[in-house]
Structure 1
Amino acid sequence: MVAKTSVAHRGYDIIGDIHGCAHTLERLLDQMGYRKVAGVYQHPRRQAIFIGDIIDRGPRIREALHLVRDMVEHGSARIVMGNHEYNALGYCTRARPGSGKTFLREHNARHDRLIRETLEQFEPYPHEWNEFLEWFYTIPLFIEDEDFRVVHACWDQDLIDKFRDIRPDGCIDDDFMHASAAIESFAGQVMDTLLRGTDLRLPEGMSITGRDGYVREFFRTKFWADNPRTYADVVFQPDPLPPEVARMELSEQERAQLIIYPSDAPPVFVGHYWMEGRPAPRKHNVACIDYSAVKYGKLVAYRMDGEKVLSPDKFVWIDVERPEQPTSPGSEDSLAR
């Protein structure tokens, strides 16, 4: 069983999507009582758990990766893979001959834009970037501890059980990575569901243009909705559905596609969803801790101490400054648009 470990009286600080906001991460760790020991952030009684998406979009991606990897390698943190780490592997991995592709993740305008800041910041350090790509393969897709679970976007028990049967360490390898390029494959479904979440197709002929300008024919859905009846009961994304669509009733076929997280299951933590407002649980045993740090929102952590019912009082956060304060005049610290 993956990462099913427990340390007596140890607490855990589960930290949301960082996306290169390294200075804000340092401030959050300081606020929670972590201190640098031999250059690595540590806490005498607690361990940090990163929800993934350390890279892309932000001003200090390289610094954030070094900070997080150092903590993980010294045992003061754990981490699960985010869709951006997975995307980077696909973008930088050549497809096998005969596949009809050059890279596993197509180099198109949208994908180029999403990874641009990461590649630009590592351009003077190509060997470091290659080492981080190798390190991404050591990051598990999920953590299941005695009292809680952590996954980047969606806890699908059936997929996780089947994946754990073939990958007991919870990590992917090169073969699984190549297999996942086919979205309809088992590997593709594991990576898409656990790292990006679930969705439903919009009614025929309808699409939504998101804030990022991307046109979608699907909308993201909750995996914890109780007795959902309408689209509004299951939608979970920053971009709202048109009111007439939100009121539509789910068909039996659509209801059957939904994943329902049991109310008696251990608390589960996800990131990924660009939340806004004051951090709070989505349900007594479900919390999203991604509050849009790189969009000048909040970098959020939940301080987990074994409780079965999550509390809004256990969230802590740092409001991201606009932009993060530069380390020195003239340094390359402005947030790339």
Structure 2
Amino acid sequence: MNCQGYDLIGDVHGCALSLRMLLARLGYRQVNGVYRHPQRKVIFIGDIIDRGPHIREALQLVRDMVDAGHAHIVMGNHEYNYLCYMTPHPDKPNEYLRAHTARHQRILQQTLEQLAPYSGEQQDYLEWFQQLPLFIEFERFRVVHACWHQGLIDRFRQQYDGNQIDREFLYRSAIEDCFEWELMDRLLRGTHLRLPNNEVMVSKDGFRRHFFRTKFWMPDPQYLVDVVFQPDPLPAHLARLPLTAAQREDLICYGSDEKLLFIGHYWRQGTPEPVTSNIACLDYSAVKYGKLVAYRLDDETRIMPEKFVWVDVAREVHLANAEVGAS
């Protein structure tokens, strides 16, 4: 197939019905059970699993497209978390790369439950997740789940020759503060700063956080409020604190002259729009009854607001479910 454009799709999180609706809206049709388009391909930004009601269906749909050559995908932090949660620790008997804490189980619960009856599939998906690229770079644009960190990516390419991890890398990535750990943390979770004075922020989903997510494209931020990038705002007494020299060292800046960049991860709200002229975030909280969002990329050199396409989950999926129930 001669690909004439790409449709980049944000975090699915088990919302298979929304995904089917979005693909139909984008002009994809099922042929022999696989969604395809005569001129275009999809690029999934990761986080196909967790939280939603139809995780197994979403995985099957996405993998079928990837295997048939009609889509690409990069790894999300939820695929990575699941892979680590299910991988025994090589040096600690009866332990795993990701500790089986109540918090970690809560995040993965829907995936664990929905795949448990299909142990063969579960193992197959674990092997597939390890093979997923961490990032993809094309001539005109880049794709990563949370943050493009050029220095870390350059070092990874030099040491590991490509954009995929192996089993030894996976094991090392569980060692806090080593290179492999830092790479996965930055690319799949983004940049962040610790809350001052050891303060704790309780997010809307009930998690206690000592860190807050930060923008990685601000050229000269002055205050904490200038760099915060997440649904939950900073407490007012912290927002206007000036950035310290140490905090500035932890920030990076993806310049306005860099290639177009597509990310997910950040639970945005409202009407989909560009983050900057060259950055688009496609995660608009679909599994929380927000929007499942795509961007239709052709040959433009700047992110264009009119190229976002989405399914309003709260409205459209509710109506679709109501019609099915009434039939």
- Please report the TM-score for the alignment, with normalisation by the length of structure 2: 0.95
CA distances 1:113-159 after superposition (whole Å, capped 9, x unpaired)? 11111111112211001100101112100010111100000000000
| Correspondence list, 1:29-178, <5 A | 29-97=23-91, 99=92, 102-178=95-171
Q: CA deviation at 1:9?
A: 6.1
Name the aligned partner's letter for residue 63 of structure 1: E
Task: State the partner residue of 2:308.
Answer: 315
Cα offset, 1:306, TM superposition: 2.5
- In 2, Cα distance between equivalents of 1:136 and 1:125: 16
Pick the structure with more helix per residue.
Answer: 2
Q: Which among 199, 217, 226 is matched to residue 219 of structure 2? A: 226
Counterpart code for 1:216: R
Given candidates 281, 288, 291, the residue that maps to 2:284 is 291
The letter for the 2-side match of 1:325 is N
TM-score (norm 1): 0.92
Distance 1:118 1:288 in 2: 24
Secondary structure at 2:243's aligned position in 1?
A: coil
Q: Is the 8 A contact 1:104 1:178 kept in 2?
A: yes
Q: Residues 16 and 50 of structure 1 are in contact (CA less than 8 Å); yes or no, is this contact kept in structure 2?
A: yes
Once the two structures are superposed, the pairs formed by residues 174-253 of structure 1 within 5 Å of their partners are 174-253=167-246
- Whole-angstrom distance in 2 between the partners of 1:309 and 1:19: 28
Quote how far apart the aligned CAs of 1:52 are.
0.2
Give yes or no for contact 2:76–2:188 (8 Å, CA) kept in 1.
yes
Separation in structure 2 between the aligned mates of residue 294 and residue 101 of structure 1, nearest angstrom: 33
Matched-pair contact (CA < 8 Å) for 1:19–1:54: yes
Q: Which 5+ residue runs of structure 1 have no aligned equivalent?
A: 1-6, 330-337
- Does the alignment pair 1:258 with 2:258? no
Contact preservation (8 Å) 1:183, 1:192: no
Unaligned runs of 5+ in 2: none
State the Cα deviation string for residues 177-224 of structure 1 (Å, max 9, x = none).
110001211000010000001111111131111112111111110111
Does the 8 Å contact 2:2/2:39 carry over to 1?
no
1:57/1:117 contact within 8 Å kept: yes
How many residues are aligned here? 322
Aligned to 2:6, the other structure's residue is in SS state strand
Distance 1:166 1:94 in 2: 25
Q: Which letter does structure 2 place at the counterpart of 1:136?
A: F
Cα 1:11/1:207, change in 2 over 3 Å: same
